Structure 1
Amino acid sequence: MITRIPNLPDHVLGFKATGKVTGTDYESSIIPAVNAALQRHKKISLIYHIPEPFEGFDLAAAWDDTKLGLKHFNHWKRIAVVSDIPWIHTGVKAVGFFFPCEMRIFADADLDAATQWASEAES
């Protein structure tokens, strides 16, 4: 399940993933929010909070995430991934160097710092 993180600057989108994330979650919340923000800003920042317990992504969600990242490849300013889950850290480190934006991993306890960091880089 995906929920929006409220009260962020207009150029920053924040999402919290809990339980199992599905393709429907992406299609109903993340994709429309990204498309709407990119109508107002050339580049946007993203906060993706993935606290424990987290059951993972279904295949459709993983595919939607890949398509979204590639479609808007040059439209990301900063991406903050907030999680204490080791395999999330490994995954972010594995793909982070592919993205032409700043990407950082934060611990769950540092959600406020992640929010501040992502918010600093207005497009």
Structure 2
Amino acid sequence: MLKYINDLEPHVVGIHAEGEVTKEDMEKVLLPRIDELVQRQGEINYLLVLETDVQNWTAGAWWDDMKMGLKNFTKWNRIAVVSDQKGVQWFSDIFRFMVPGKSKGFALDQLDEAVKWVSEKDQKQSS
């Protein structure tokens, strides 16, 4: 199940994943919020708190996740993934080499640090 994380800065989408994550969760919770954020500000700051095993994501959920990533490829600004699964944290750190923007993994006990990091606004360089 996916749930919104409230009380974040307006330029950050926060999602908490627990239990089974389905295609319906993606379509009703995550995708509309990401689309709204892109329309409003043109970039994505995304916080994912993953308190479920990645194996609990259905094939449809993974497919929608991949489509969302590709559709918004140039829009990613900051991605923070919070999980106690070491493989997830490692992948999040490596992911920064595959997408524009910044990506960083955090442990569950570092949630406050993750929120602070994903909420930071980058200074745009002037030409």
TM-score (norm 1): 0.91
C-alpha change, 1:42 and 1:26, in structure 2 (3 Å) is same
Aligned partners of 1:34, 1:42: CA distance in 2, in Å?
10
Instruction: Work out the CA distance in 1 between the residues paired with 2:117 and 2:57.
Output: 26
Structure 2: which 5+ residue stretches go unaligned?
none
> What is the CA RMSD across the aligned residues, in angstroms?
1.8
Change (3 A) 1:86 1:72: same
Higher RCO by CA contacts (8 Å cutoff, separation 6 or greater)? 1
% of aligned pairs identical? Answer: 35
Give the number of equivalent residue pairs: 123
Given that residues 95 and 103 in structure 2 are in contact (C-alpha distance below 8 angstroms), is that contact kept between their aligned partners in structure 1? no
Q: Which deviates more from structure 2 when the two are superposed, residues 51-60 or residues 94-103?
A: 51-60
Q: Runs of at least 4 residues of structure 1 off by over 4 A?
A: 52-55
Measured after TM superposition, the shift of residue 86 of structure 1 is 2.5
Structure showing the higher strand proportion among its residues: 1
Match of 1:21, SS? coil
In structure 2, relative to structure 1, the CA distance for the partners of 1:54 and 1:67 (3 Å cut) is closer
The Cα offsets for residues 11-70 of structure 1, whole Å up to 9 and x where unpaired, read as: 100000000111110000100001111111011200000125675211000000000001
- Structure number with greater Rg is 2
> For 2:13, what is the secondary structure of its paired residue?
strand
Which amino acid counterpart does residue 35 of structure 2 have in structure 1? Answer: N
8 Å contact from structure 1 (residues 18, 54) kept in 2: no
Alignment partner, residue 69 of structure 2: 69
Gaps of 5+ in 1: none
Deviates more, 1:85-94 or 1:55-64: 85-94
